[in-house]
Structure 1
């Protein structure tokens, strides 16, 4: 099991940062070798399910997620989204929090727990470090692209 967290500050309103981070198909545009498909009809809410398929051909893994908390930001109040990972291969959760930051910017806190079923715990340090880099870069790209 791997748990990690990172924070970002973006020159965006809370609403705009939230929108950019929670348009699930956009994650496939910024995570290498990944395609995201929303399974349930929109708009996103508690109960929304989507699948991130990462890899190539027979070496692809489906990361099935369900939104279990959906509290968009309102005014200066922070927003929180929690996803439960319910795939056959990847379990765990992720939280994306958007709150007011310095100078009227949006402060993003991303927390995640990964429990891959087929990876021995010996790999946890490498998985944690690489996940922090991959998801951190993805968050950077999502926040930069309108």
Structure 2
């Protein structure tokens, strides 16, 4: 199976998670009293956003084949790492922009949760690419 299947899974996981994170941080900034409810909505949104990527990962595992040369995995691996870096940078940027002083700790924790959730599929994709390495 093509290693680009894992890139597609990563794109379909990272971009929606970043968008959901952005929406939730805006809601928290507007009304800090509802932060627990918004955080719950974030978890549900991320779970729904990762359904298709998880199916793609399973499909990739089922049809996994070793590649002929390691060079076939360079571009997919780099794309996955770039997407993972984008999500991390984006979420850490959102936590610092226009946040009240008393909300800083919560936003730092929320950003760490967001980075962790957005990094799950890319890490699985990188491991999958490593499993495709030639002997």
Band of TM-score, shorter chain: 0.3 to 0.5
The structure whose RCO (Cα within 8 Å, separation 6+) is larger is 2
TM-score (norm 2): 0.33
Going by fraction, where is strand more abundant, 1 or 2? 1
Going by fraction, where is helix more abundant, 1 or 2? 2
TM-score (norm 1): 0.31
